[in-house]
Structure 1
Amino acid sequence: MTEPVEGRSSSFGEGGDVTVVDRFGVWLSKRQIEKVVGPLIGRDVADVGCGYDATFMRTVLDEVRTATLTDVSLAPDLLAHPKVRAIEGFLPETMEQVADASLDVVLCMSVIEHLWEPDRTLAHFRRVLRPGGICAVNVPSWWGKRALEYSAFKLGTSPAEEMDDHKMYYDPRDLWPLMVKAGFMPHAIKCFRHKFGLNTFAVATVTP
């Protein structure tokens, strides 16, 4: 089964439809990534479901060794960037193009909630990481569901089509077992709420 849902033909942000609320969310995710993952200087990093403009990765392209970017579609300048390996398409098939133990960091921000079978994609994250590698995953929580839908359907400050593409919301008790099922060791997983409790964040390290 191809993921995300059949019929989705564009990446987040394609067409310039990123709202102020979305930009604030990206900024909060960036702060959390910097806190739990640390400097990305000289590291091979993947941003899975990075969005059309790969907003976060653009801020660190000068620092990373390589950037693997995956989404349904990517901006032309990213496709041509010498440090970027661009993979356009759907999950989990796009991850099948990434070699085993080839990355130091895998980032996946606000993507898993769009997948019918997230465990398949998470298993690929574990596969492509080297010993000592780090996987960071952000998803909206069940509390965040109410806030996101209010923003989208009542205020019009978030894209309604994104909310209607959600398949699941995750509290720590929901996300943690998926990380274990993917192959990360329980003691190497931290799973917690952030963004004022509206999101759940997991960071897992591949033990040597």
Structure 2
Amino acid sequence: MPSPASTLRAADQIAYLDQAASSDPGRRYKRQLLTALDLRPGHTVLDVGCGPGTDLPAMAVAVGGDGAVLGIDHDPEMVEQARHRTAAYPQVSVRSGDAHALPCDDASVDRARTDRVLQHLADPGQAVAELRRVVRPGGLVALADPDWDTLAIDAVDTATSRAYARFIVSDVVRNADIGRQLGRLLADAGFEVVAVDATVAMFRDYDEAEAVLRMPAVARHAWQSGALDEASARSWLASLTDGPFLAAVTFFTAIGRVPKPRASARASET
């Protein structure tokens, strides 16, 4: 799961995404998401917001040489990096595109997913509706996003911990509580909701948490904007490295299936 990406410079985005994916919570939920998609040889699978292509090779292996994997991202740097990383997989193609208006034909893919993408979009509902449009009847969609409104960081200064978490929700992440909405978004778009799961990503090591949550960068952004007192925030940051560390956030995944058309009553009688 990502830390608020808007606190990072564009040049740092790829390194950050790689760090998040390689963390213990990142590896764990990515395995779960890949399993839930139930990829089969010959499938066509769509990864919306593919970033630097972190997960495209695993999908390529799952669908085999007769399958196809399409990665879409709005960032030209991410598209270029994803193409470079998947050059050895002829079944993978990567293109620029908007999650709100996918460059795909109706009912053209068997599987699709968004991984930590909806939290950043202007209209998550429209993006999920686009997934409904492009996935074939019987096909599956997997959505994954954190719910930043559940973020908890232990510190003696609980007031600053709470103010820091409120800042993320109110000022940093566009759709901070999107995780809890995933099942409803699928239902509203016309999917059959197959499963909704919640897991707690917990960090007991400060360095691992910092690589994903970026506490110093976010706190600096907060005091520069007046949301935190700088002296209190600096003292709070220092305290996080002094003694046992604990941070946790709830991460949601939801699986939807496109309904198959029902046979007409007349057809069922024949």
Aligned-partner SS, 1:141:
strand
More helix by share: 2
Is 1:43–1:104's contact at 8 Å kept on the other side of the alignment? yes
Shift of 1:204: 0.5
Pairwise mapping of residues 87-126 of structure 1 onto structure 2 (< 5 A)?
Answer: 87-93=95-101, 95=102, 97-126=103-132
Instruction: Give CA deviations for 1:175-207 in whole Å, capped at 9, x if unaligned.
Output: 22211121213xx34222124462111000112
Pairwise mapping of residues 25-64 of structure 1 onto structure 2 (< 5 A)?
Answer: 25-52=25-52, 54-64=53-63
Specify whether residues 47 and 26 from structure 1 end up closer, same or farther in structure 2 by C-alpha distance, changes over 3 A only: farther
Instruction: Give CA deviations for 1:126-154 in whole Å, capped at 9, x if unaligned.
Output: 1111111000000112454446xxxxxx9
Calculate percent identity across the aligned residue pairs.
24
Code of the aligned partner of 1:109: D
Write the distance in 1 (CA, Å) between the matches of 2:9 and 2:105: 26
Write the distance in 2 (CA, Å) between the matches of 1:79 and 1:169: 33
Aligned-partner SS, 1:198:
strand
Write the distance in 2 (CA, Å) between the matches of 1:26 and 1:49: 16
Partner of 1:150: none
Aligned-partner SS, 2:184:
helix
Write the distance in 2 (CA, Å) between the matches of 1:171 and 1:192: 10
Give me the TM-score of the superposition, normalised by structure 1: 0.73
Shift of 1:171: 4.5
Q: Runs of 5+ in structure 1 lacking a partner?
A: 1-7, 148-153, 155-159
Specify whether residues 121 and 171 from structure 1 end up closer, same or farther in structure 2 by C-alpha distance, changes over 3 A only: closer
Give me the TM-score of the superposition, normalised by structure 2: 0.58
Cα root mean square deviation, aligned: 3.2
Choose from 172, 178, 181 the match for 2:185.
178
Is 2:33–2:253's contact at 8 Å kept on the other side of the alignment? no
Write the distance in 1 (CA, Å) between the matches of 2:41 and 2:11: 27
Q: Runs of 5+ in structure 2 lacking a partner?
A: 1-7, 154-160, 162-167, 202-248, 261-270
Is 1:134–1:203's contact at 8 Å kept on the other side of the alignment? yes
Write the distance in 1 (CA, Å) between the matches of 2:111 and 2:125: 18
